[in-house]
Amino acid sequence: MPAPSSADTKYLEAHGSKWRVVMNVPRKLQGKLGTKLKRALGTDSLSEANRLKWEVIAELKAIIEQAQNPTMTKDAAIALARVKAMEEARRLSRQRLLALTSDERQRIDDRIEERAEEFAGEPIGVGDMGMPEYEPERDALAMQFMAIAKNAETPVDLHHDKYMSMSNVKPRTAADDKRAIKHLKTWCEMKGLPATLQSITKREAVRFCDDLHELVGTKDPATLNKYVSRLSVYWTWLEKRHEVEFNVWRNRRFSKPMQTTDEKERPFTDKEMKALLTGETSQAMHDVMRVGALTGARLDAIVCLRVKDCLNDTFVFKPQKKEPGPRLCPIHPDLFEIVARRSEGKEEDGDMFPEWPRPKNPLREKSFKTSNHFTDYRREVGVDDQREGRRRSLVNFHSFRRWFATKAEQADQPEHIIAAVVGHKRNGITLGIYSAGPLLEQARRCVEAVRLP
């Protein structure tokens, strides 16, 4: 029977009554580093030595890696050493938090102090009070290492990986989370402020928001709010875990300028609908536009449809935005031919719109190329409403959704049924995956009340 991992002695050797890590140095570097690198672990427990050794192994490998790259500049070497020191401090910090006994924590603290002394190096003199003085940059590194490792300072991203692993968000939102933390760390560096949770007070949060547009490169409130919102969600998670006392980002929002009616995104007019539905473009684009116009569905939900999502005269659209689950929408009679044609000869998992495969970039939705194609086509047929100072046209694919809701309302359909069909936020009534009976029939009457011009 193989020995358990806690009894493994790989990279370990006994030195007196305690264990230390030993790593062989490549032959070509032995003249510079010696034949072996050794580092004491300060414990006589083999199981604990096995738990502690991996951070030391990583550190010794970094030393060998640096020796293999002698062309590295002094500044680059210092920067690399600082990064690795902070990584080691974070690992020790986690170990310290997970320590089960006071003796175990004391051994980790001893290890932290030993490493801090190594980072500080030998004294370069004696101060006025008779205390040893160290080279300022190394002393600062040692102090920061000690503070982080002993949990007196917590890097803003220390818990971020764990937070992300517990966060059920789409890849694009996850990327926004990471960019928000990156912007915060960059800002801290610009301001000479430690990038720690303790440093980010309410006052600093306000200052960060004041400067965020410079980091992001835009003053668009929606973009700025996106990053502040992701920081707020992270801080709320930290607050619940008692890592911070309160969420400093709560209620920090950038106000959107007041829009007049003629500045808001709008439905297509009937004239614009006719231009779009009779223009020269691919069959796939004509099909997508008609599904959008007669369901009010979002573009990505449409192009992600599979054959099994279009059975029994009912679409099953995947959840979008904050929808809790898939959404039913009766299929309009004018779409029966499209559904039959696109389903013919395909398996249940077959794509209804294979013309637009999923992009290689996981951060982009399947509809990314579809949206670009539609924008080009819309402009070709003269359907546009671009206003000065606005990034987007006031008409876009979402205008089909607005058009559907408008036409359903003009056909005297109940507001709550329209909301159920298009997936708008509503209270007390849901047209969900298990809906049946009168509600689904009401939804079918709502859909069939809308007619293409």
**Alpha helices in 196-240, H assignment, sequence order:** 202-216, 221-240
HSE-CB at 19 with a 13 A cutoff on CA atoms is: 20
- Predicted pLDDT at 438: 53
Is the per-residue pLDDT at 180 higher than 80?
A: yes
The length of the chain in residues reads 453
Q: How far is CA 101 from CA 54, 104, 207, 227, in A?
A: 21, 5, 41, 40
Closest Cα partner for 209 from 180, 235, 236, 238?
Answer: 180
Contact 93, 148 (CB under 8 A): yes
Using 50, 70 and 90 to split pLDDT, how confident is the model at 428? very low
- Predicted pLDDT at 186: 94
> What token pair was written down for 110?
């001893």
Contact 13, 20 (CB under 8 A): yes
- What average pLDDT does the segment 434-441 reach? 60
DSSP secondary structure of 147-162: HHHTTSS-BTTTTHHH
User: Which of the pair, 20 or 83, is modelled with greater confidence?
Assistant: 20
H or E element in which residue 116 lies? helix 102-120
d(CA 442, CA 236): 41
- What average pLDDT does the segment 145-165 reach? 84
- Give the domains, in start order, of the chain with CATH numbers: 5-149 (no CATH), 160-240 (no CATH), 266-448 (1.10.443.10)
Contact 166, 177 (CB under 8 A): no
Q: How far is CA 25 from CA 28, 30, 64, 261, 391, in A?
A: 8, 6, 7, 72, 58
Q: What SS3 state is found at 101?
A: coil
Contact 97, 148 (CB under 8 A): no
Contact 187, 195 (CB under 8 A): no
The rounded percent of the chain whose pLDDT value lies above 90 is 43
d(CA 11, CA 20): 8
Highest-confidence segment of 109-113, 251-255, 376-380? 376-380
d(CA 103, CA 92): 15
- Predicted pLDDT at 78: 61
User: Which of the pair, 84 or 277, is modelled with greater confidence?
Assistant: 277
- Predicted pLDDT at 72: 61
* pTM of the predicted structure, to 2 decimals: 0.58
- Predicted pLDDT at 132: 79
Using 50, 70 and 90 to split pLDDT, how confident is the model at 11? confident
- What average pLDDT does the segment 187-191 reach? 92
d(CA 391, CA 343): 37
Closest Cα partner for 92 from 58, 120, 121?
Answer: 58
- Predicted pLDDT at 75: 62
Is the per-residue pLDDT at 437 higher than 60?
A: no
pLDDT-wise least confident of 50-59, 130-139, 170-179, 355-364: 50-59
- Predicted pLDDT at 354: 95
pLDDT-wise least confident of 70-79, 280-289, 341-350: 70-79
Rounded to 5°, angle at Cα 79 from 73 and 82 = 140
Using 50, 70 and 90 to split pLDDT, how confident is the model at 323? low
